[in-house]
Amino acid sequence: MGYFNGETIKFNTPGINPYFLSEQDISKLISKNETVMQYAQDVKEIYFFGAGCSSPDKHEVVSNGLSEVFSNAFISVDHDLLGSVYATCGDAEGLNCILGTGSNICYFDGEKIHDGHHGLGYVLGDEGSGTFFGKKVLLSYLYKKMPSDLLAEFKKAFPTEKEQIITNVYQRPFPNIYLAGFSRFMANHKNHPFIQDILRTGFQEFVDTNVKDYPRHKKVPCHFVGSIAYYYQDELKQVLAENGIETGKILQKPIEELFNFILQKEGVVKQAI
Q: Three-state SS string across 130-173, please? A: HHHHHHHHHHHHHCCCCCHHHHHHHHHHCCCCHHHHHHHHHCCC
Mean pLDDT of all residues belonging to the chain: 89
Region of poorest pLDDT, from 79-88, 132-141, 179-188, 198-207: 79-88
What ranges do the domains of the chain cover? 2-72, 92-251
Q: 1 with 255: CB under 8 angstroms? A: yes
Report d(CA 47, CA 76) in Å as an integer.
Answer: 5
Q: Counting every residue, how long is the chain?
A: 273
pLDDT digits over 160-218, tens only?
899 999 999 999 988 989 999 999 999 999 999 999 999 999 999 999 999 999 999 99
**Per DSSP, which regions of 167-241 are E strands?**
222-225
| Confidence band for 117, pLDDT divided at 50, 70 and 90 | confident
Q: Is the pLDDT of residue 272 over 50?
A: no
Q: 191 with 198: CB under 8 angstroms? A: no
Region of poorest pLDDT, from 140-144, 170-174, 230-234: 170-174
pTM above 0.75, yes or no: yes
Q: 208 with 103: CB under 8 angstroms? A: no
3.40.50.300, 3.40.1350.10, 3.40.190.10, 3.30.420.40: CATH of 92-251: 3.30.420.40
State the average pLDDT over residues 80-99. Answer: 92
* pLDDT score recorded for residue 80: 83
